[in-house]
């Protein structure tokens, strides 16, 4: 485990520090899409630096995680007003209220069934929404679990982190759930991704990266700095993942063997959150202080 200066890291300003770039994904239009969690906007950033910002109907709605949908639009969670948002690549936005009040949606991903799946932090539920806005909810078999990120697994199920239950969860499109406790107490998992063979997740409380097989076997890999607070993770290939270290101002990489390399971000205390593989094959991360970072391996 070591630090490396080999990748080229470049930062681009996209907003002032009060906007709060948070979630980031690659859209079907070959551009990057971001959520501005504090100002209540969604933004589109092209690879040549053209930025368009689309204010939402409620500035205080706190858009958080964003993902491409099966309908060619972008879908995102609105954690403050408890809605699921949708925006077309032309910037036309709408939103859908959730059946359970004060549910706090956070993570969202496209599922294997042509719908979007999302977590509800405050009510311990997993939600499903179709492209037409039809919503279903599935209660988890544990109280106060605080489900966070969610991803489409290689086994046709959805996998998610349970931040306060210290576990990884699995739910099928039919709503059958299973929970897998983590070996490390207080690990507080947040981000999760699939590399096509297994699931990788980050433990913000323990300063570790974890891997879980589809049959529930768990491995954990400590970071050199256990106070780094890893937040989000994305896979670039089988056994190759990149993650943000929110507490240490770094981007990290982990391989299938557990080898970890870390790369400092240029601006101090830039608060890296979401991370995605860009349309150019580089890693892009949202910096809550007002920018994005491009990491070219």
Active site residues: 273
CB-count exposure of residue 7 (10 Å: 0-12, 13-18, 19+): middle
Q: At which residue do the structure tokens 């859908």 appear?
A: 96
Are 296 and 284 spatial neighbours (Cβ–Cβ below 8 Å)?
no
Distance CA 138, CA 147 (A): 12
Distance CA 189, CA 212 (A): 12
Q: How far, CA to CA in Å, does 12 sit from each of 228, 258, 272, 285, 295?
A: 23, 31, 13, 10, 11
């Amino acid at each position: 485990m070591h630090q490396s200066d080999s990748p080229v890291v470049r930062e681009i300003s996209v907003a002032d520090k009060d906007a709060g770039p948070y979630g980031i994904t690659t859209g079907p239009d070959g551009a990057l899409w971001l959520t501005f969690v504090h100002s209540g906007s969604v933004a589109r950033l092209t690879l040549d630096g053209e930025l368009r910002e689309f204010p939402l109907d409620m500035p205080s709605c706190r858009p958080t995680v964003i993902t491409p949908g099966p309908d060619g639009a972008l879908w995102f969670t609105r954690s403050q007003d408890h809605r699921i948002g949708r925006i077309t690549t032309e910037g036309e936005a709408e939103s859908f209220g959730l059946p359970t009040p004060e549910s706090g949606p956070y993570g969202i991903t496209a599922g294997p069934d042509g719908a979007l799946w999302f977590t509800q932090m405050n009510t311990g539920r997993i939600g499903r929404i179709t492209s037409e806005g039809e919503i279903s909810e599935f209660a988890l078999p544990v109280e106060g679990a605080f489900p966070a990120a969610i991803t489409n697994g290689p086994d046709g199920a959805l996998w998610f982190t349970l931040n306060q239950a210290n576990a990884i969860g699995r739910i099928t499109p039919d709503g059958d759930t299973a929970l897998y406790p983590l070996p490390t107490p207080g690990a507080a998992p947040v981000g999760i991704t699939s590399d096509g063979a297994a699931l990788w997740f980050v433990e913000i409380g323990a300063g570790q990266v974890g891997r879980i097989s589809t049959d529930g076997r768990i491995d954990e890999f400590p970071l050199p700095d256990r106070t780094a607070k890893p937040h989000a993770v994305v896979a670039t290939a089988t056994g190759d993942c990149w993650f943000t270290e929110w507490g240490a101002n770094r981007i990290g990489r982990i391989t299938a063997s557990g080898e970890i390399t870390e790369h400092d971000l240029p601006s101090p205390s830039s608060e890296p959150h979401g991370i995605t593989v860009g349309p150019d094959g580089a890693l892009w991360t949202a910096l809550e202080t007002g920018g994005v970072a491009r990491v070219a391996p």
